[in-house]
Amino acid sequence: MPAPVIQLEGLGKSFPGGKRPALGGISASIHPGRVTGLVGPDGAGKTTLLRLMAGLLTPSEGRVAVKGLDPAKDAVRLAPVIGYMPQKFGLYEDLTVGENLALHADLRGVTGPERQESFDRLLAFTDLSRFTSRLAGRLSGGMKQKLGLACALLGQPEVLLLDEPGVGVDPISRRELWRMVRELVAGGLTVVWSTAYLDEAELCQEVLLLNEGELLFEGEPGALTGRLRDRCFQIRDIAGNRRQVLTRALCRPEILDGVIQGHSVRLVLRPGQAPPDLQPLGAGPAARLAPVPPRFEDAFMDALGGGPGGESVLARHAHQASADREIVAEARDLTRKFGDFTAVDRVTFEVRRGEVFGLLGPNGAGKSTTFRMLCGLLTPTSGDARVMGIDLKKSPGRARQKLGYMAQKFSLYGNLTVGQNLAFFSGAYGLRGRLQREAVERLVTAFKFEPLLDAPADSLPLGYKQRLALACALMHEPDILFLDEPTSGVDPVTRREFWTHINGLVEKQVTIIVTTHFMDEAEYCDRIALVYRGRVIAAGTPDQLKSQVATADQPEPSMEDAFVGLVRQQEAANPPDLAQAKGA
Amino acid sequence: MVHRIFSLVRKELQALLRDKQGRLLLVGPVLMQLAVFPFAATLEVKNNTLAVLNEDAGPESFELIQRFSQAQAFTRLLRLEGERELADALDRQRALLVVRFPPDFSRSLAAGKAASLQVILDGRRSNSGQIALGYIRQMVNTWLAGQRPAPAPELVVRHWFNPNLDFVRHIIPSLVAIITTISTLVVTSLSVAREREQGTFDQLLVSPLTPGMIMVGKTVPAILVAMFQATIILTAGIWVYGIPFAGSLPLLYGSMVFYILAVAGFGLLVSSVCATQQQAFLGTFSFMVPAVLLSGFPAPVENMPVWLQRVDWFNPLQHFIVIVKGVFLKDAAPGVLFQSLWPLLVIAALTLTAANWVFRRRLA
């Protein structure tokens, strides 16, 4: 193996006021001509590490060397060597594609005949030549990402640092980007790719797995997943309730981790344990255990020592949803226009009681717009949105009393305490006196908030923030709960705990409507509407969607394969016109 | 409904008072302005340099110069020799003004003729210059009166409600109005923008709270905070700066509520069209600066062109300063105050309606 390009020796970084170091003494090496993944959930220290490598931060302890040089001290000599693409791609949205390139070329000192030559080469490489005069802010997520990459590649760096290039980009563009990165790596470039999507780790040649500032694993991803060989199974052909099967399975000592995958339940065994007997799990007579290849996420859970357990503390205390009606939410020809751009185009679907319904699609596809119309944050241009049979246009207040809403990133009043947040949200939903006290007490007991009542919400660890946000959304015992990208970027343990609570609510017939661009999250849904360019292009159970794209070569496609396949089918049937593409 | 609004108000106050920083921010700037404003923004002229070019040799000019140099306004006296130095003294701002005694000053006086005295002012400092000129004129007149055997008919000026023309009496009531404006804008527009940034605003909008309730929930804390800060200034004005409070407190606080409503309407209007705190900050700033400049605090409204005075009618601060001064300094009758109060009512109705309309439209 050639000598490493980047060498980390006991590298640590603390920020003033931080409870723990953002990065705690990491030693690793990154080798040339490969894609090295910096993998871990939000807050793992990925960005800090990248910024240390780029010389944008100085280490608190240890050292980092890029080609033997200190990136902070030898910034001038390393500048031509390192290309860095920050999160959100580091573009000036009010400049055109061409101006962005020119600016970055000026900054990196790319001049003379080399300048135009690199522009031509990079524009051809990223397929952006047709769009040089378009404002960067008007590009789609995938195109922004390509432009960001082109800017980072100016001056022909030897090391490319990419900070979460896959966020906010649809799976098709993500695959395109991976193709381009592989091409660059084949040409000798060293790429460091940070990501919170654990499935991306499997695409890297080498992985540094980070969690809470600690390095959990360094090496080829296969070496990590290899530890789980013969320990991963799917329970298929379940006759009973698959959520209950999962709950029971997670309570057994031999099970390390488990998640729902469409109609099946995926289980990971603890090392050296035999698979469980299916009958006590209530999986039905036809249920069978099928071995499946381990995923990187299984390995991550293994490295962390397993998930949060199966039983939701919330489920025991949760309210029973009213059983008045079968159809609890419906969209009929829902359309929303912004100027001459149609963000949502005649979307129709129904959501049944006690179901987890997912709106799946890339950013800008129109799923958030649909979602916002359904919970009354946006008025439709035409068409109807009803919740519990109530038209949101006619009596929004009455409809809102019946729905709970959890915004992205658990938005709470950060400087209010846990108790004050609970008191406020219960009051906002019209609870008072004894009823209010009881509702707050019920959730405080369920989520074990007692010792935290006086702590500001900002100071809580992520898992507790999520619980508090959920508690605030459930205070008024809504029949239907809206979740906007609930667990994107969240570590898998917290994500599992979250879905355990959600499963507990569903058992009480509460209906869940969730938006996500996260393919794994879609697996938890009973039904999915796939939104693309403002339209629902496919709807059904996760297994139905997957079976629509199953082929002889790919008998068991993943959710992402299903997404990519269905979008391609749609595009082949009616090619997108440019006017739509511009706004998307 | 009342209970829901109460929850909103309580949440807002908790958010403001929760940490030490927040509490400090409520009191600190007020105390600082209170300490600095009455001294820094003074219109009195003190501690300046007077330059004298005396081409006369008589006792009269000598006597006058003595008197000038005793005045509080001029702590330094600069004696000039010749016209070159005169120009230089003003050019380099070494003196605020120059008094020049012509060679025949004493002779003319002795002959019983009118004597002239030249005063040259620095036009770049016109305000202070004008005031200093007034002092000079007064001193000359007093001296003249002492010279004549029979006192000539004399104009006696008395400034009512501020007999000593104490500038603090102008500043403190205006400060009450200005601080009220700032805190109302901060509590309304910046806090809505912050909630938008943090995503909690969506959380409010999906709750059964109506936009109207949310607006009330933002306005009531603004009233409480602004009144609290105004009280600090009033107390300091009365007890520290010793300004007698002439009027009725209920009248003052009552009209303050209407003023805060008018400003809160502006604040909410700004916040309803802004997505970030930065935009909201710029928005409130672009309201604050013209509102203060045109309020009659730095310069009288009557001196503005008529069209600007008409536009300025919509500036609530202008009306409120009149009310505060009226109640504070001269116990103005409610009927007189109503002249300034009804425009506030109209402005409050306009801004709040507009804010409510934009709020709803932004949802659509």
What is the three-state SS of A178-228? HHHHHHHHHCCCEEEEEECCHHHHCCCCEEEEEECCEEEEEECHHHHHHCC
* Same domain, residue pair B82 and B198: no
Report the mean per-residue pLDDT for chain B: 84
With CB atoms and an 8 Å threshold, state whether A456 touches B364: no
Is A136 in a helix, a strand, or coil?
A: helix
CB A475 within 8 A of CB A431: yes
DSSP H stretches of helix in B116-248: 126-147, 168-185, 191-198, 200-206, 211-235
Looking at the domain assignment, is residue B89 inside a domain?
yes
Gyration radius (Cα) of chain B, Å: 27
With CB atoms and an 8 Å threshold, state whether B4 touches A428: yes
Looking at the domain assignment, is residue B88 inside a domain?
yes
Tell me which chain B residue has its CA closest to the CA of residue A398.
B208
Residue spans per domain, chain A: 6-225, 227-311, 412-466
pLDDT at B158 over 50: yes
Residue A231: Cβ within 10 Å count = 20
CA-angle at A156, arms to A152 and A161, nearest 5°: 40
With CB atoms and an 8 Å threshold, state whether A407 touches B3: no
Burial class of residue A551 in the structure, from the number of CB atoms within 10 Å of its CB (0-12 exposed, 13-18 middle, 19+ buried): exposed
With CB atoms and an 8 Å threshold, state whether B208 touches A401: yes
**Among A129, A119, A182, A127, which Cα is nearest to A156's?**
A119
Pick the CATH number of A6-225 from 1.10.3720.10, 3.40.190.10, 3.20.20.480, 3.40.50.300: 3.40.50.300
Flag whether residue A453 sits within 8 Å of chain B, measured between CB atoms. Answer: no
Chain B residues in contact with A472 by the CB 8 A cut-off are 203
Looking at the domain assignment, is residue B153 inside a domain?
no
CB A154 within 8 A of CB A101: yes
Predicted local distance difference test score (pLDDT) of residue A584: 37
Nearest CA-CA distance, residue B231 and chain A, Å: 27
* Same domain, residue pair B27 and B53: no
Q: Which amino acid is at B291?
A: A
Chain A residues in contact with B15 by the CB 8 A cut-off are 413, 415-416
CB B337 within 8 A of CB B321: no
Chain A residues in contact with B206 by the CB 8 A cut-off are 375-377, 400, 403, 405, 482
Looking at the domain assignment, is residue B211 inside a domain?
yes
Chain A from 384 to 403: CB within 8 A of any B CB = 397-398, 400-401, 403
Residue range B130-154, pLDDT digits in tens: 788 888 888 888 887 777 654 445 5
Predicted local distance difference test score (pLDDT) of residue B40: 67
With CB atoms and an 8 Å threshold, state whether A428 touches B202: no
Predicted local distance difference test score (pLDDT) of residue A583: 40
* Same domain, residue pair B276 and B317: yes
Q: Which domain holds residue B137?
A: 48-147
- CATH number for the domain harbouring residue B82: 3.40.1710.10
pLDDT at B100 over 80: yes
* Same domain, residue pair B60 and B27: no
Long-range contacts at A540-546 (CB < 8 A, ≥ 24 apart): A541/A262, A541/A263, A542/A261, A542/A262, A542/A263, A543/A262, A543/A263, A546/A262
Residue range B43-92, pLDDT digits in tens: 667 778 888 988 888 888 888 888 888 887 788 888 888 888 888 888 88
Chain B residues in contact with A425 by the CB 8 A cut-off are 203, 207
| Phi, psi angle pair for B55, to nearest 5° | -95, 0
Nearest CA-CA distance, residue A403 and chain B, Å: 8
Tell me which chain B residue has its CA closest to the CA of residue A400.
B208
The span from the CA of B123 to the CA of A494, in Å, is 71
Tell me which chain A residue has its CA closest to the CA of residue B196.
A411
* Same domain, residue pair B138 and B273: no
Tell me which chain B residue has its CA closest to the CA of residue A396.
B208
With CB atoms and an 8 Å threshold, state whether B200 touches A397: no
Flag whether residue A377 sits within 8 Å of chain B, measured between CB atoms. Answer: yes
With CB atoms and an 8 Å threshold, state whether B18 touches A416: yes
Residues of chain B contacting A, Cβ within 8 Å: 3-4, 6-8, 10-11, 14-15, 18-19, 22, 198-200, 202-210, 363-364
Predicted local distance difference test score (pLDDT) of residue A422: 92
Looking at the domain assignment, is residue B162 inside a domain?
no
CB B171 within 8 A of CB B328: no
* Same domain, residue pair B181 and B252: yes
Say how many domains are in chain B: 2
Is B96 in a helix, a strand, or coil?
A: coil
The span from the CA of B178 to the CA of B174, in Å, is 6
Interface size, chain A vs chain B, as Cβ–Cβ contacts under 8 Å: 85
* Same domain, residue pair B61 and B198: no
- CB proximity list for A346: less than 8 A, separation 6 or greater: A333, A334, A335, A383, A535
- CB proximity list for A507: less than 8 A, separation 6 or greater: A243, A244, A315
pTM for the whole thing? 0.78
Chain B residues in contact with A457 by the CB 8 A cut-off are none
Testing the interface with B: which of A375, A413, A425, A480 to mutate, by most B Cβ within 10 A? A413
* Same domain, residue pair B139 and B90: yes
* Same domain, residue pair B208 and B333: yes
* Same domain, residue pair B54 and B190: no
Name the residue with tokens 């209407």. B258
With CB atoms and an 8 Å threshold, state whether A379 touches B363: yes
With CB atoms and an 8 Å threshold, state whether B208 touches A400: yes
| A377 vs B3, B18, B202: nearest CB | B202
CA-angle at B5, arms to B1 and B6, nearest 5°: 110
* Same domain, residue pair B33 and B119: no
Residue range B182-194, pLDDT digits in tens: 889 888 888 888 8
* Same domain, residue pair B23 and B131: no
Residue range B293-328, pLDDT digits in tens: 998 887 788 888 889 989 999 999 999 999 998 888
Flag whether residue A125 sits within 8 Å of chain B, measured between CB atoms. Answer: no
Predicted local distance difference test score (pLDDT) of residue B194: 84
pLDDT tens for the 584 residues of chain A, in order = 678 899 999 999 998 877 788 898 899 999 999 999 999 887 788 989 999 999 999 999 999 999 888 988 888 888 888 999 988 778 888 899 999 999 999 888 888 888 898 899 888 888 888 888 888 888 877 788 889 989 988 888 999 999 988 776 777 888 888 998 999 899 889 999 998 888 888 899 999 999 888 999 999 988 988 888 889 999 988 887 888 888 888 888 888 888 888 888 899 998 888 888 888 888 888 888 889 989 888 888 888 877 777 677 777 777 777 777 788 899 999 999 888 888 899 999 999 998 999 998 877 788 888 988 888 888 889 999 998 888 888 877 788 888 888 877 677 888 889 999 999 999 988 888 898 998 899 888 888 888 888 888 888 877 788 889 888 888 888 899 999 888 766 778 888 888 888 888 888 889 999 988 777 788 889 999 998 888 898 999 988 988 888 888 888 888 888 888 888 888 888 765 544 444 43
Chain B residues in contact with A429 by the CB 8 A cut-off are 207-208
